[in-house]
A = this chain, B = another copy of it.
Amino acid sequence: MNYSVEIKVMPHKELLDPQGKAVLGGLSNLGMQSVADVRIGKHIHLQVEAASADEARNIAEEASKKLLSNPVMEYFEIEVSQPLK
Tell me the A residues contacting B by CB distance below 8 Å. 2, 8-10, 20, 23, 26-27, 30, 32, 34-50, 59, 62-63, 66-68
Contact = CB atoms under 8 A, between A and B. Distances in A.
Nearest to A55: B34
A7 to B, nearest CB: 9
Given A26-B67, A66-B30, A46 B41 contact: no
Given A9-B43, A10-B45, A46-B37, A32 B62 contact: yes
A40 to B, nearest CB: 5
A82 to B, nearest CB: 16
A26 to B, nearest CB: 5
A63 B49 contact: no
